[in-house]
Amino acid sequence: MVKYLEIFIEERKLKNVKTKALFLSTHLKKYTERVFNAYLKRVLKDLNIEKNITCHTFRRTLNTLRKVMGCPNEDRKILLNHKVQDVNVESYVKMNYKQYIELYDKWYPYYEIIL
């Protein structure tokens, strides 16, 4: 499976598009989550992979990798962009766009993949 993903990434790098989305439609646009999950389900079936993998699986994996890197729980909550129940994080952390991008860059585990 890793081999196929590596081949796909190399081919994706050759496409000159404005989006940095890894997966593109035939119109070279970013897939919606629903369409991507349906497509992924067909691909998994063709590859005889029985595990249920969705966009959410990728979000969980990314969050796990950030935890392994040492990313604090508060930062991971912000980066996941989920509704936060922790009063300290929700009430006292106010970030502008630049700060959010810096936080994302700090805890980005895929630097070796350049599109």
State whether 72 and 97 are in the same domain: yes
Same domain, 73 and 32: no
pLDDT of amino acid 8: 87
CA gyration radius, the chain: 17
Both 100 and 61 in one domain: the answer is yes
Domain presence at residue 115: no
- 24 - beta bridge partners? 30
Report yes or no: 115 and 11 within 8 Å, Cβ to Cβ. no
What's the mean pLDDT when you consider all of the chain?
A: 80
State the total domains in the chain: 2
Contact 79, 66 (CB under 8 A): yes
40-54 pLDDT per residue, tens: 899 899 999 888 888
- Do 32 and 64 lie in one domain? The reply is no
Residue-wise pLDDT tens digits, 7-24: 888 898 899 898 888 888
H-type helices in 2-71, by residue range? 2-13, 33-46, 55-69
The answer to whether position 112 is within a domain reads no
- Same domain as 35, residue 70: no
Answer whether residue 29 is part of any domain. yes
Domain assignment present for residue 111? The answer is no
Q: How far is CA 48 from CA 1, 52, 71, in A?
A: 11, 11, 35
The pLDDT assigned to 42 comes to 92
pLDDT for res 39: 87
Identify the pLDDT of residue 33: 85
Q: Which domain holds residue 98?
A: 55-106
Cα separation, 105 vs 53, in Å, equals 25
Same domain, 74 and 101: yes
List pLDDT tens digits, range 70-103.
888 888 887 877 665 554 444 445 567 788 788 8
pLDDT of residue 45: 92
